């Protein structure tokens, strides 16, 4: 994805949008950032980032490696509960 937008990174996951109240916004991520690592492990694509995040749980603290405007930086964030898929409300137990 990053390569398609000519962002200089041959790997990574493009940040296409940010939830204004979500963990990415609180950590300072911006639209157009490219996530190149998660907890020190390379992120190769959007799918790779989703796979890595799926192995974590709400409350986990993670460090993201980012590229923004051709510069490397890091952002620390605490994961929230993932949103329910559209049209599928969460079921209550009990």
Residue 65 lies inside a defined structural domain of this protein = yes
Cα-based distances in Å from 7 to 10, 24, 26, 33, 77: 8, 20, 23, 9, 23
Q: Is the pLDDT of residue 47 over 90?
A: yes
Higher-scoring residue by pLDDT: 10, 45: 45
Residues 6+ apart with CB under 8 A from 55: none
Average pLDDT over residues 13-18: 95
Range of the domain at 31: 13-78
Q: What pLDDT is recorded for position 81?
A: 79
Average pLDDT over residues 19-27: 93
Q: What is the DSSP string of 61-89?
A: EEEEEEEETTEEEEEEEE--PPPPPTT-P
Residue 90 lies inside a defined structural domain of this protein = no
Higher-scoring residue by pLDDT: 85, 57: 57
Total domains, the chain: 1
Residue 4 lies inside a defined structural domain of this protein = no
Q: Is the pLDDT of residue 77 over 70?
A: yes
CATH number of the domain encompassing residue 35 = 2.30.42.10
pLDDT tier for residue 48 given thresholds of 50, 70 and 90: very high
The number of angstroms, rounded, from the C-alpha of 92 to the middle of its chain's C-alpha atoms is: 27
């Amino acid at each position: 994805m990053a390569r398609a937008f000519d962002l200089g990174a041959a790997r990574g996951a493009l940040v296409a949008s940010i939830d204004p109240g979500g963990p990415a916004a609180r950590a300072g991520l911006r639209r157009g950032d490219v996530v190149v690592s998660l907890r020190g492990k390379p992120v190769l694509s959007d799918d790779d980032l989703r796979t890595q995040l799926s192995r974590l749980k709400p409350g986990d603290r993670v460090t993201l490696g980012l590229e923004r405007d051709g510069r490397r930086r890091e952002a620390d964030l605490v994961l929230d509960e993932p949103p329910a898929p559209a049209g599928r409300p969460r079921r209550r137990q009990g």
